[in-house]
Amino acid sequence: MRTKPPPSLLSLTIDSAVLNLSDISDLSSIPDHILLDLFLRILRAGKLTEKVLRLFIATGKDEVISLVEALNIRHVLTPVLPTTVINDNEVDIVIGALHADLTTFMNEWRPIFSRFHLIIVKDPDLKEELQIPEGFRADVYSKADIERVVGSSSSIRFSGYSCRYFGFLISRKKYVVCIDDDCVPAKDNAGYLVDAVAQHVSNLQTPATPFFFNTLYDPFRKGADFVRGYPFSLREGVNCAVSCGLWLNMADLDAPTQALKARQKNVRYVDAVLTVPARALLPMSGINVAFNREAIGPAIGPALRLTGEGKLRWETVEDIWCGMCVKVICDHLGLGVKTGLPYVWRTERGDAVQSLKKEWEGVKLMEDVVPFFQSLKLPQSATTAEVCMVEIAKAVKEQLGKAHPVFSQAAETMVEWVKLWKTVASG
Q: Which of 50, 148, 57 is nearest to 424 (CA)?
A: 148
Distances (CA, A) of 385 to 55, 259, 389: 47, 37, 6
Letter for the amino acid at 89? N
Of residues 21 and 80, the one with the higher pLDDT is: 21
* Shared-domain flag, residues 54 and 95: no
Residue 377 has pLDDT above 70, yes or no: yes
Residue 204 in any domain: the answer is yes
* Shared-domain flag, residues 110 and 59: no
* Shared-domain flag, residues 309 and 175: yes
Q: What is the pLDDT of residues 36-94, one digit of tens each?
A: 888 888 877 767 777 788 788 878 777 777 777 777 665 544 455 455 678 999 999 99
* Shared-domain flag, residues 201 and 294: yes
| Helix (H) / strand (E) containing 249 | strand 240-249
| Sequence-distant (≥ 6) Cβ neighbours of residue 215 within 8 angstroms | 227
* Shared-domain flag, residues 394 and 272: yes
Residue 86 in any domain: the answer is no
* Shared-domain flag, residues 55 and 152: no
Burial of 263 (C-beta count, 10 Å sphere; 0-12/13-18/19+): exposed
SS3 308: coil
Percent of the chain whose pLDDT exceeds 70: 89
Taking phi first (over 0 means left), then psi (-120 to 50 degrees means alpha), and beta for anything else, what does residue 191 get?
Answer: left
Q: What is the pLDDT of residues 99-147, one digit of tens each?
A: 999 999 999 999 999 999 999 999 999 999 999 999 999 999 999 999 9
- For 251, other C-beta atoms within 10 Å of its C-beta total 15
Residue 1 in any domain: the answer is no
What pLDDT score does 142 carry? 97
DSSP state of 185: E
Please state, in angstroms and rounded to a whole number, the distance separating the CA atoms of residues 298 and 418: 6
Q: What is the pLDDT of residues 352-361, one digit of tens each?
A: 666 665 556 6
Residue 80 in any domain: the answer is no
Is the sign of the CA dihedral 308, 312, 318, 320 positive or negative? negative
What pLDDT score does 1 carry? 47
Letter for the amino acid at 103? T
| Sequence-distant (≥ 6) Cβ neighbours of residue 392 within 8 angstroms | 325, 328, 329, 376, 378, 414
Please state, in angstroms and rounded to a whole number, the distance separating the CA atoms of residues 253 and 258: 6
Please state, in angstroms and rounded to a whole number, the distance separating the CA atoms of residues 120 and 133: 13
Q: How many domains does the chain have?
A: 2
Inter-residue contact 291 to 381 (CB < 8 Å): no
What pLDDT score does 310 carry? 57
| Helix (H) / strand (E) containing 241 | strand 240-249
Residue 19 has pLDDT above 60, yes or no: yes
Residue 193 in any domain: the answer is yes
Residue 85 in any domain: the answer is no
* Shared-domain flag, residues 209 and 64: no
Please state, in angstroms and rounded to a whole number, the distance separating the CA atoms of residues 65 and 57: 6
What pLDDT score does 366 carry? 85
Q: What is the pLDDT of residues 242-253, one digit of tens each?
A: 999 999 998 777
Residue 196 has pLDDT above 50, yes or no: yes
The packing angle between helices 385-399 and 405-426, to 10°, is 160
Inter-residue contact 172 to 297 (CB < 8 Å): no
Give the end-to-end CA distance of the chain in Å, rounded to a whole number. Answer: 92
What pLDDT score does 307 carry? 67
Please state, in angstroms and rounded to a whole number, the distance separating the CA atoms of residues 165 and 154: 14
pLDDT band at 233 (very low <50, low <70, confident <90, very high): very high
What pLDDT score does 363 carry? 74
* Shared-domain flag, residues 59 and 163: no
Of residues 376 and 16, the one with the higher pLDDT is: 376
Percent of the chain whose pLDDT exceeds 90: 61
Residue 257 has pLDDT above 90, yes or no: no
Locate all alpha helices (DSSP H) within 49-136, ordered by sequence: 50-57, 62-70, 103-113
* Shared-domain flag, residues 332 and 395: yes
| Domain limits for position 21 | 9-71
Of residues 301 and 153, the one with the higher pLDDT is: 301
* Shared-domain flag, residues 44 and 112: no
Of residues 83 and 13, the one with the higher pLDDT is: 13
Residue 84 in any domain: the answer is no
* Shared-domain flag, residues 28 and 160: no
Inter-residue contact 290 to 240 (CB < 8 Å): no
Q: What is the mean pLDDT of the chain?
A: 88
Please state, in angstroms and rounded to a whole number, the distance separating the CA atoms of residues 351 and 321: 23
- HSE-up of 85 (CA within 13 Å, CB side)? 0
Residue 238 has pLDDT above 80, yes or no: yes
Residue 4 in any domain: the answer is no
The pair phi, psi for residue 294, each rounded to 5°, is: -70, -30
Residue 189 has pLDDT above 60, yes or no: yes
Which CATH number characterizes residue 235's domain? 3.90.550
* Shared-domain flag, residues 238 and 346: yes
Q: Which of 251, 119, 255, 217 is nearest to 177 (CA)?
A: 119
SS3 95: strand
Residue 293 has pLDDT above 60, yes or no: yes
Q: What is the three-state SS of 27-64?
A: CCCCCHHHHHHHHHHHHHHCCCCHHHHHHHHCCCCHHH
Section 286-298 average pLDDT:
96
SS3 293: helix
